[in-house]
Structure 1
Amino acid sequence: MTKSSGNGRLILLGAPLGNPGDASARLRDTLGEADVVAAEDTRRLTRLARDLGVTVTGRIVSYFEGNEERRTPELVDAARDGALVALVTDAGMPSVSDPGYRLVRAAVEAGVPVSVAPGPSAVTTALALSGLATDRFCFEGFLPRTGGPRRARLRALAAEERTLVFFEAPHRVAGSLADLAAAFGPERPAALCRELTKTYEEVLRRPLGELATWAADGEPRGEITLVVAGAPAVVAPVPAVADLRAAVADLEAEGTSRRDAITAVATGYGLRRRDVYAAVHAPAAD
């Protein structure tokens, strides 16, 4: 494979979650072509390259949480000087709860082109497997490590109506599930996805209370992604005709035209304008 042509850039490589067969052709090609490969764990990179039958001829450097602040300028400078710099983390997409965000920001600010070779993501893989709603979801990454901050975060999320996706470490998952059950209710549907795409892949689809009990009985092993159903939508009560009339009358008393008052009340209650109009002009009850 030929080396880069001097058009320096940064490319983020989506790596397999576990099964090397999920690697893209672009991942293979880029690992062989890159002038510099920044890896979260150089030993895992070496193993991945061996599994893929790729020879990494560029310079391999480590890039992880402990050294990314120091190493980021070095990698940006290499790209500015014309090098093809590839970033690969242990699994999934760089910068998604993995190193990479700091490097992308620095590259953008330096005018270095940034591209992505898309690949597997534990977020969307677990979401698709969960059996929960996928049309609207939010990714919350890792919860706080300690109980107090974790419970505060979960209280703030308890009313979130979108499906939620979390990452969690095996030794903390029992505590997190217990706090989730307490904050969201033990009957909230959820799925615990473990070791995705690997030999011992497991997906447990149970209410939070049952998952918390299961985790408390023994520490689960492997990479864990939690998917939790959103809170049920709160249906606002339909206001009484008298209340709608009173709201329109109050606005009219302040000098608002009836037309504008009806529009404002309809917007405020989330109703159709014609329904408020009908309420205002309906015969008064005896």
Structure 2
Amino acid sequence: MTCIMDDLSAPLSPGLYIVATPIGNLADLSPRAASILARADLIAVEDSRVTARLLHHVGVKRPMAPYHDHNADQVRPGLVARLGTAAIALVSDAGTPLISDPGFKLVRDARAAGHPVVTIPGPCAAVAALTLAGLPTDRFFFLGFLPPKEKARADAIAEVAAIRATLILYESGPRLPATLAALAAGLGDREAAVAREISKAFEECVTDTLSALAARYAEGGPRGEIVIVVGPPGEAAAPEAADVDAALVEAMTRLPTARAAGEVARATGLPRRDLYARAMALRDAE
């Protein structure tokens, strides 16, 4: 707390401050984030009741203005206009702003107007769940929330099915059973994890295959916000020799032999040299 009080003596320069807040445990609020919140002229919030509890934890009171999906377009111009003379902090109810919320539009417009934008990094549920899941972390793809309607959800899953990366998405308890079933149907039985209550007393991360998780939560999801982490697809099976030959023959009806071999190599991942030799053999056998 001493560091926060020392910082409070210096006023903030005008601009937009993106402040990450705890996703559960209030002790995860960094001293720098607490200092920014304590000195901001205004805090743009999702829910003033949630942010009020956080400010109470810091021991300060600051003016707040709602900024969320339902009013962002109406509120944003006024916030941007104030940035020339005021320090405005942007927070979400939990975690890092701009992750599945309209904050990126405020940052975009603030930059376009020439105002400084500063980020105060901290908790993020997506990254926290990734560290808990024990799935590959070298490449990951964040999906946010899937569409609620069945067809749109299935289409969204189909779009990412071939991506060779760990998938991360957010979900609510009531929608969890349908989402897990759709993921299992659209992605196959991959390794996955369901994380919830991250950083809280009853933090839980259940790992299993998608089908097993879908069965586990079929009767209803737990309360609270949930992060689903899905492992990348396995290695693709090598194409059958007959299929490769057919692809080469078809390609050679349109292209010279070398280019046909190159096209099939890109499509199958097989060595171009081997495919060229096979294409020559097929051509000579005609």
Q: For this structure pair, what is the TM-score category when the shorter chain's length is used for normalisation?
A: 0.7 to 0.9
- Superposition map of 1:1-286 within 5 A: 1-2=8-9, 4=11, 7-51=13-57, 53-56=58-61, 58-80=62-84, 82-185=85-188, 187-237=189-239, 270=269
Seen in structure 2, the aligned counterparts of structure 1 residues 112 and 20 have a Cα distance that, compared at 3 Å, is: same
User: CA–CA distance in 1 between the matches of 2:153 and 2:119?
Assistant: 32
Q: Provide the residue aligned with 2:4 in structure 1.
A: none
Aligned residue pair count: 275
User: CA–CA distance in 2 between the matches of 1:109 and 1:48?
Assistant: 31
User: CA–CA distance in 2 between the matches of 1:267 and 1:67?
Assistant: 48
Does the CA-based 8 Å contact 2:95-2:123 persist in structure 1? yes
User: CA–CA distance in 1 between the matches of 2:169 and 2:262?
Assistant: 41
Residues 166-197 of structure 1: CA deviation (Å, up to 9, x unaligned): 10111111111111122223x32110001111
Structure 1 unaligned regions, length at least 5: none
Seen in structure 2, the aligned counterparts of structure 1 residues 43 and 275 have a Cα distance that, compared at 3 Å, is: same
Residues 230-281 of structure 1: CA deviation (Å, up to 9, x unaligned): 2223244386998999899889xx7x7x998887776676455665677789
**CA RMSD in angstroms, aligned pairs only:** 2.9
Does the CA-based 8 Å contact 1:39-1:89 persist in structure 2? yes
Does the CA-based 8 Å contact 1:35-1:83 persist in structure 2? yes
User: CA–CA distance in 2 between the matches of 1:184 and 1:139?
Assistant: 16
Helix, strand or coil at the partner of 1:200? coil
- 1:152: Cα distance to partner? 2.1
Helix, strand or coil at the partner of 1:116? strand
Helix, strand or coil at the partner of 1:154? helix
Helix, strand or coil at the partner of 2:158? helix
- 1:221: Cα distance to partner? 0.8
Structure 2 unaligned regions, length at least 5: 1-7
Give the partner amino acid of 2:33: L
- 1:42: Cα distance to partner? 1.2
User: CA–CA distance in 2 between the matches of 1:280 and 1:178?
Assistant: 43
Does the CA-based 8 Å contact 2:173-2:220 persist in structure 1? no
Seen in structure 2, the aligned counterparts of structure 1 residues 244 and 23 have a Cα distance that, compared at 3 Å, is: same
User: CA–CA distance in 2 between the matches of 1:112 and 1:242?
Assistant: 60
User: CA–CA distance in 1 between the matches of 2:141 and 2:133?
Assistant: 14
Give the partner amino acid of 1:69: D
Seen in structure 2, the aligned counterparts of structure 1 residues 61 and 178 have a Cα distance that, compared at 3 Å, is: same
Does the CA-based 8 Å contact 1:92-1:119 persist in structure 2? yes
Structure 1 runs (4+) deviating above 2 angstroms are 2-5, 155-161, 235-251, 258-282
Residues 22-73 of structure 1: CA deviation (Å, up to 9, x unaligned): 111210110111111111111111111222x3313x4221222222111111
Seen in structure 2, the aligned counterparts of structure 1 residues 239 and 8 have a Cα distance that, compared at 3 Å, is: farther
Give the alignment's TM-score, normalised by structure 1.
0.83
User: CA–CA distance in 1 between the matches of 2:235 and 2:105?
Assistant: 37
Helix, strand or coil at the partner of 1:96? coil
- 1:156: Cα distance to partner? 2.7
- 1:98: Cα distance to partner? 2.2
Give the alignment's TM-score, normalised by structure 2.
0.83
Does the CA-based 8 Å contact 1:4-1:33 persist in structure 2? yes
User: CA–CA distance in 2 between the matches of 1:214 and 1:245?
Assistant: 46
